[in-house]
Chain A
Amino acid sequence: MSDASTDLTPYAKSIGIRIEGEEDGAPVLAFEFTGDVEGRPEHLHGGATSGLLETAGYALLRKELQQRGRTHRLKPINITVQFLSAGKRRTTYAKGRITKLGRRNANISVEAWQDDRDRPIATAIMNILMAGE
């Protein structure tokens, strides 16, 4: 549990998601463009982009809870994804920001980008319930 990379789910690993580093205390996740994440030819599949966003949101929340010495079962409530531009054949990154961390629920926003950090290709908002501390 101490090594953040071991927190990646088997699903995340299967589509090539890795922990790229950390920025302002938040894990930056990434995957390369491979056939496993391709939708229409030469473009990222929206589902794969959503998976990267969601994984980045969980990585951030788990890290934050761990730092506070809190252990919970996380229950996903929902995710809303906005697709802003087509993902191309290059590395995609994602990083989350905790908008609210309460006793029972968390609200997280996540951005995914490729070349230009200031022009995200997709954003997501996630609500997560935290049970059984």
Chain B
Amino acid sequence: MSEPHKFDPSQAAQFMLRHGHSSALGLEYHDHGDDWVELELPWREDLVGEADQEILASGPIISLLDMASGLSIWTANGKFVGIATMDLRVDYQRPARARSAVIAHVECYRLTKSAAFVRGYAHDGDPEDTVATMSAVFMSISGETRNV
């Protein structure tokens, strides 16, 4: 099935999402393909944007998209490399629904020696009815071998 040592986001997510900021937000692996990864941000009361509304804030959605970007890059690349976000743009189409989890789908559509280009979207159930769309550029950090 999969080549030995090939980066597998479903495996990597087991430890990457249990560390630091991703862990604090409770991000979970959802699905992946050759050059894309989906992560889920479960709804949680302390991650909402307004105290009196039950809607996830935009901040954790940026983190969700950023983390799915990294995983899509390593998936497309077939192995882990040190990367850093250079530029990230998020367009918000609408708020997520009350008490809804948000799923991010990010694809790495181009990899060069020094940069990785990604685009994606976030939705709360229907991928055709997006909550947000995003694009970002990452640069590789040479000599970096540890994981995010």
A residues lining the B interface (CB < 8 Å): 9-15, 35-41, 45-48, 50-51, 54-55, 75-83, 86
- Flag if A79 contacts B66 (CB, 8 Å): no
- Flag if A10 contacts B51 (CB, 8 Å): yes
For the complex, count residues of B whose C-beta is within 8 A of A. 38
Residues from chain B with Cβ under 8 Å of A41 in the complex: 146
Give the residue name and chain of the A residue nearest to B148 (CB). Answer: A40
Docked Cα-Cα span, A39 to B63, in Å, equals 10
- Listed by A's residue number, 13 A-B pairs whose Cβ atoms lie within 8 Å are A9-B51, A10-B48, A36-B24, A37-B21, A39-B20, A45-B66, A46-B66, A48-B21, A50-B59, A51-B60, A51-B62, A75-B92, A76-B58
Known: A36-B20, A55-B59, A82-B86. 5 other contacts (CB 8 A): A11-B47, A12-B57, A41-B146, A46-B63, A77-B91
B residues lining the A interface (CB < 8 Å): 19-24, 45-51, 56-60, 62-67, 82, 84-92, 144, 146-148
- Flag if A38 contacts B21 (CB, 8 Å): yes
- Flag if A80 contacts B89 (CB, 8 Å): yes
- Flag if B91 contacts A78 (CB, 8 Å): yes
- Flag if B21 contacts A45 (CB, 8 Å): yes
Docked Cα-Cα span, A41 to B82, in Å, equals 11
Docked Cα-Cα span, A80 to B82, in Å, equals 22
Q: Which of B57, B62, B148 makes the CB contact (< 8 A) with A39? A: B148
Nearest chain A CB to B133 CB, angstrom units: 9
Q: Which of B59, B65, B88, B146 makes the CB contact (< 8 A) with A12? A: B59
Residues from chain B with Cβ under 8 Å of A9 in the complex: 48-51, 57, 59
Q: Which of B19, B49, B84, B148 makes the CB contact (< 8 A) with A11? A: B49
Give the residue name and chain of the B residue nearest to A122 (CB). Answer: B85
